[in-house]
Amino acid sequence: MFEVGIKAHFSAAHHLRGYPGSCAACHGHNWEIEVFVRGSELDETGILVDFRVLKDRVKEALAEIDHCDLNQVDAFRTANPTSENIAAYLYRELACRLNTDRHRVARVSVHETPETVSTYWE
């Protein structure tokens, strides 16, 4: 089994509805994400998934949430835009864009700060 991954980042504002603290107010983060793809078969050049393809698909998914108020994004109109929910959202978005017969998105990690991380996988 092989696993490859990349790091990327996006910036956005959000607020956590129902949160009993300062995160209930609108504020922003510079999130870092990690995306991992897993599979057992390499292509004829010895590659699981081209890093360029992986970066392009991640860039497309992030374009939908970069530099915006996450609470205004359809996916987060009812679900709080927590790091956990952002990781699940990106996992699903990237699975649609990247999964093939040879490889699948394995997990997505979202770092709200350098000291914190939330990871989603199925």
Catalytic residue among 26, 27, 67, 122: 67
- At 111, is the secondary structure helix, strand, or coil? strand
Catalytic residue among 15, 23, 64, 68: 23
Catalytic residue among 14, 93, 103, 112: 112
Beta bridge partners of 13: 28, 69
Q: Give the CA diameter of the chain.
A: 54
H or E element at residue 87: helix 83-98
Distance CA 43, CA 96 (A): 20
Distance CA 32, CA 99 (A): 22
Return all residues near 40 (Cβ < 8 A) that are at least 6 apart: 1, 2
Judge whether 23 counts as a catalytic residue: yes
Q: Any idea which residues carry the catalytic annotation?
A: 23, 67, 112
